[in-house]
């Protein structure tokens, strides 16, 4: 099983054991919280574009990217 993120293929079974994957899936399934956990992603995907989209922010910002985190898109760096 693999997952595509920002054009980079990630093999889930290399990163997580099947037990870890099943545990995470079961937590959402048994507690019936999958809808509330993905709601923000759905809303952001269907939101009206911001009038300031594509412009640099004047507010200082930073991103903490840890060694085992998924790769971040290069566009995010350019947008900061």
Q: What is the pLDDT of residues 14-34, one digit of tens each?
A: 888 999 999 999 999 999 998
The upper half-sphere exposure of residue 3, i.e. CA atoms within 13 Å in the direction of its Cβ, equals: 11
pLDDT of residue 13: 80
pLDDT of residue 9: 65
Question: Which pTM does this prediction carry?
Answer: 0.44
Residue found under tokens 């870890």: 20
Q: Look up residue 79 and give its two tokens.
A: 């947008």
**What is the torsional sign of CA 25, 29, 33, 39?**
positive
| b/e burial code for range 23-48 (CB count within 10 A of at least 16 → b) | eeeeeeeeeeeeeeeeeeeeeeeeee
pLDDT of residue 62: 80
């Amino acid at each position: 099983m693999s997952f595509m993120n920002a054009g980079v293929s990630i093999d889930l079974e290399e990163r997580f054991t099947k037990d870890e994957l099943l545990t995470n899936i079961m937590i959402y399934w048994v507690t019936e919280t999958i809808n509330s956990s993905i709601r923000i992603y759905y809303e952001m995907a269907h939101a009206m574009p911001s009038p300031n989209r594509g412009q640099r922010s004047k507010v200082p910002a930073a991103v903490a990217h840890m060694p085992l985190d998924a790769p971040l898109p290069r566009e995010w760096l350019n947008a900061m």
